[in-house]
Amino acid sequence: MQPRGNKLISRYKKTYGIPAEVNITEQMILAHWELEKQLTAELRQSNPEDRWDTFDHCYTRLYAELEWLNQFAGKADPQTPHEKFGRWLDLIGQPPKSIYEIGSGQGGLISFLAASGYDCKGTEITCERGQQLIPESRANLSWGISDGVHLDAFEPLETYDVVVSDQVIEHIHPDDLDSHLRSVRTILKTGGKYIFNTPHRYTGPHDVSRVFKCGEAAGMHLKEYTCRELVAAAQRAGYRSIHFGFVPRRFRLMLTAFGVKRFGGPDAAQSLFLRTEFLTEKFLRVLRPSAVRHGCGKMFSKFGVFSETLSIVAEK
C-alpha cells in the first residue's frame, strides 16, 4: 500500500532533503507524482531531433510548477560546502584547472569549486536552475545552457581539464548515454578527466517513485545504472583509464589494516574498490524481489564493500 498522510510527507521530505518545518502537503506531493509521471512519458517518447526542446520544456515546467523543489530541496543538509563537496578536490587535483559542470542544479558544487580557485563554467538545460539560484557571481565562474548530451556543439574541442556531473547521468535519455560520454571526451584536453556521480540501480529507485515504494525508477530518473554498465559505456566511448572515485572510508581502512594499500600506487584503492563493486553487483543481481536487493545493498554499504552512489573517473 502506498504511504499516505504524515508518512507520505515524511518520506518525501527525506527523499528531497526538505527541512521538517517546511509546509509540504499530501496534495502537493501527489501533484508532483502525477506531473513527473506525465513528463517522464514525454521524455521517454522524445525523438533525437526534438529531444533538447522536450527536455527543456519538461524540466522548465517541473521547476516552475513545483517551485518548492527549487526553494527547499537539499536545505535539510547541515553540512558546510567543504564537508559536502571537499572530496571532489582530491579527484580534481590542485588549481589552476578549467572545469565544466553538466547539470549544475542549484549550483552548489560549481560554486564551491570556483571558490576553491578553479576556472569554472556551470551549465543547465533550463533557465529555471543554475545561475538563477546563485545569489552572488564570481569572476572565475561563468554560466551557459546546453542539451547535456552534444557538448561539442556548445564548447570548443579539447578545452577543459575536468568535466564534472553530480546526479545527472540518470536523467539523460538512455539512448543518449554513449553520445554524452563521447561528447564529454571531445571537450576534454588530453589527459583530462570526466568525474561523475550517479545513484546505483540496486539500491533504488532514487527519484520521486522512491516515495511511493516503487520497485524501479518511474520518475525522471530515466535509467539508474550499475557500475559495470557505466564502465562498459565509458570504455566504448574511448576513455583510456577508468576507476572508482569516492572510495568508502571503511574500505580504505580495511586496506590499511591488511597492509594491501602499500603494494599499490596512489590509485590502488580506486582500482581495488572497482573490482569489489563488480563482485558485489554479481551477487545483488540475482536477488529478488527488489526490496531484498535494496536491503542487502544497504548492508554491504555499511561494511564498506559497496557504494550506493556510483562515482566514476574516466580519463581521456
Q: Quick one: pLDDT at residue 1?
A: 46
Residues in contact with 50: Cβ distance below 8 Å, sequence separation at least 6, in sequence order:
none
Task: Give CA separation, 76 vs 10, 106, 274, in Å.
Answer: 13, 14, 31
Q: What is the pTM for the complete model shown?
A: 0.94
User: What element of type H or E holds 102?
Assistant: none
Chain centroid to CA 157: how far? Answer: 24
Compute the CA torsion angle 264, 266, 269, 274 (nearest 10 deg).
-100
What are the pLDDT digits (tens) for 127-177?
A: 655 555 465 678 899 999 999 999 999 999 999 999 999 999 999 999 999
State the fold for domain 146-315. Answer: Rossmann fold (3.40.50)
Residue ranges of the chain assigned to CATH 3.40.50: 146-315
Residues in contact with 264: Cβ distance below 8 Å, sequence separation at least 6, in sequence order:
271, 272
User: Looking at the chain, how many residues does it have?
Assistant: 316
Q: Quick one: pLDDT at residue 4?
A: 77
Q: Quick one: pLDDT at residue 15?
A: 95
What are the pLDDT digits (tens) for 7-44?
A: 999 999 999 999 999 999 999 999 999 999 999 999 99
CB atoms within 10 A of CB 170: 23
Residue 222 has pLDDT above 90, yes or no: yes
Q: b or e along 132-153 (b: 16 or more beta carbons within 10 Å of the residue's beta carbon)?
A: ebbeeeeebbbbeebbbbbbbe
